[in-house]
């Protein structure tokens, strides 16, 4: 029996960059001690107080079907959070609770794209993006960015690419680059969206992980609230990756239509998970800062280590739990470097090529291991790169 084109082509055109990741997993399974700098997940588990709230909700009876668009109290809490942090008045009717940010990305593309429509996304990109767009039946068109611009989208290039497209997906703070889009970049993007009548899907799942400056949501820019769907999540801000709880915030009409989509797909998010998310949101900014603190610390450690050498370049790492390192001076591709580093040093990093063409010659380092081990691994990585570039320059 034949499967649909849509479902069999979700991963079409994906890179092989996952080989390093898979190889590291096999080495670990074989008992080899590998330092894992690939994983985009906290090295702590969900806080026991959140789990206690989840347990109290479940044992208290919240195990039946929950309200499909989200329980009113959580929708209100998300609305209040966005009103306060972006200045855009946001009501319950602007919020749909989803099973994580990933479901939000899929649903948002379904909401704005008809089959065959062109949906833009920024390269380098979070690994699921092109597949998510294709899963929604749209055509994924990358906007290539450049290392010289710190991988920030350039409005002029966007303008040229946007002809005939219906949406643009952006992500700030960014995975994989760790770069945060400033006001100028966002205004440039917003201008093109307004001129070319594009929906903006703004993935803000790392909004609590900003190390320099402030997180700016493009929904707050003039004329953008009516054309922006913000994707949010409890995963990164509250170390609740496994709970699968996130949201889409957008115009009321879009959220009402998305609620119909939720009825036919997810049928909502478990009530006890939503109660736990509400408890976690009510813990306030201090708790979010506590969750983000290890990455803030490790970024400073990385700046110190990388500041002591000249071989490996560090992109402005202003947010999220990742660093993007430029290893082009070794003469190797990101993929070749990552394989060699794994083989010789037993350190696993993601090749830039895993995240698209734009980040070739780079590697992504996740700051998700204990500080001392992280600092050591970075030092070894830099020494390794220095040894290779020494070899290369002798050869030249």
Tokens 């074989």 belong to 30
Alpha helices in the chain (DSSP H): 5-8, 18-29, 48-59, 72-86, 100-112, 129-135, 155-161, 183-195, 234-237, 252-264, 271-282, 284-307, 334-345, 371-395
Q: Are strands 362-366 and 228-233 parallel, antiparallel or unpaired?
A: unpaired
Nearer to ligand PLP, 167 or 235 (CB): 235
CA angle (364, 370, 376) in 5-degree steps:
70
Cβ 382 to ligand PLP shortest distance, Å: 25
Cβ 98 to ligand PLP shortest distance, Å: 8
- Is 205 an interacting residue with respect to ligand PLP (CB under 6 A)? yes
Q: For ligand PLP, how many residues bind (rule: CB under 6 A)? A: 13
Nearer to ligand PLP, 101 or 351 (CB): 101
Q: Stretches 10-18, 233-241, 254-262, 306-314: which one binds ligand PLP (CB under 6 A)?
A: 233-241
Give the residue, chosen from 35, 46, 57, 171, that forms a contact with ligand PLP under the rule CB under 6 A.
171
**Strand, coil or helix: what is 248?**
strand
- Is 246 an interacting residue with respect to ligand PLP (CB under 6 A)? yes
* C-beta atoms surrounding 278 within 10 Å: 21
- Is 233 an interacting residue with respect to ligand PLP (CB under 6 A)? yes
- Is 241 an interacting residue with respect to ligand PLP (CB under 6 A)? yes
Using CA atoms, how far residue 292 sits from 236, 315, 368, 375, in Å, is: 8, 20, 11, 18
Angstrom distance (rounded) from CA 280 to CA 53: 9
Q: Which of 86, 93, 100, 56 is nearest to 72 (CA)?
A: 93
Nearer to ligand PLP, 38 or 233 (CB): 233
Site string for ligand PLP, 119-158 (x = CB under 6 A): -------x--------------------------------
Q: Stretches 30-38, 46-54, 78-86, 94-102: which one binds ligand PLP (CB under 6 A)?
A: 94-102
Calculated CA dihedral for residues 388, 321, 112, 13, nearest 10 degrees: 20
- Is 86 an interacting residue with respect to ligand PLP (CB under 6 A)? no
Cβ 165 to ligand PLP shortest distance, Å: 20
Angstrom distance (rounded) from CA 219 to CA 393: 49
**Strand, coil or helix: what is 269?**
coil
Site string for ligand PLP, 17-56 (x = CB under 6 A): -----------------------x----------------
Q: What is the DSSP letter of 276?
A: H
- Is 333 an interacting residue with respect to ligand PLP (CB under 6 A)? no
Nearer to ligand PLP, 51 or 56 (CB): 51
Cβ 175 to ligand PLP shortest distance, Å: 4
- Is 243 an interacting residue with respect to ligand PLP (CB under 6 A)? no
Tokens 């054309």 belong to 227
Give the residue, chosen from 38, 132, 145, 235, that forms a contact with ligand PLP under the rule CB under 6 A.
235
Q: Residue numbers of the site for ligand PLP (CB under 6 A)?
A: 40, 100-102, 126, 171, 175, 203, 205, 233, 235, 241, 246
């Amino acid at each position: 029996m034949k499967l649909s084109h849509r479902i069999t082509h979700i991963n079409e055109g994906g890179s092989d960059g996952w080989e390093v990741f898979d190889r590291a997993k096999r080495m670990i399974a074989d008992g080899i001690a590998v330092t894992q700098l690939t994983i985009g997940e906290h090295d702590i588990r969900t806080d026991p107080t959140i789990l206690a709230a989840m347990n109290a909700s479940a044992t208290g009876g919240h195990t039946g079907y929950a309200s499909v668009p989200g329980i009113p109290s959580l929708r209100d809490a998300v609305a209040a959070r966005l009103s306060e942090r972006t200045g855009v008045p946001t009501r319950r009717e602007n919020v749909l609770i989803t099973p994580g940010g990933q479901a939000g990305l899929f649903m948002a593309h379904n909401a704005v794209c008809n089959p065959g429509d062109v949906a833009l996304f920024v390269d380098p990109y979070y690994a699921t993006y092109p597949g998510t767009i294709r899963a929604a039946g749209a055509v994924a068109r990358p906007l290539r960015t450049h290392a010289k611009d710190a991988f920030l989208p350039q409005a002029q290039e966007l303008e040229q690419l946007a002809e005939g497209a219906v949406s643009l997906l952006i992500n700030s703070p960014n995975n994989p680059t760790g770069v945060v889009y400033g006001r100028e970049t966002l205004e440039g993007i917003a201008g093109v969206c307004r001129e070319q009548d594009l929906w903006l899907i703004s993935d803000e799942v790392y909004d609590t992980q900003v190390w320099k400056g402030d997180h700016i949501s493009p929904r707050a820019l003039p004329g953008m609230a009516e054309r922006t769907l913000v994707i949010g999540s409890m995963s990164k801000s509250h170390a609740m990756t496994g709970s699968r709880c996130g949201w889409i915030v957008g115009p009321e009409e879009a959220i009402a239509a998305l609620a119909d989509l939720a009825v036919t797909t997810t049928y909502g998010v478990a009530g006890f998970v939503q109660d736990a998310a509400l408890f976690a949101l009510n813990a306030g900014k201090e708790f979010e800062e506590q969750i983000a603190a290890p990455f803030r610390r490790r970024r400073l450690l990385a700046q110190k280590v990388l500041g002591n050498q000249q071989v490996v370049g560090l992109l402005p790492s202003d947010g999220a739990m990742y660093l993007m390192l430029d290893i082009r001076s070794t003469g190797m591709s990101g993929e070749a470097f990552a394989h060699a580093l794994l083989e010789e040093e037993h350190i696993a990093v993601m090749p830039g090529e895993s995240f698209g063409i734009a980040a070739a010659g780079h590697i992504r380092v996740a700051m998700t291991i204990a500080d001392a081990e992280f600092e050591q691994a970075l030092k070894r990585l830099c020494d390794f790169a220095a040894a290779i570039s020494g070899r290369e320059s002798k050869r030249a």
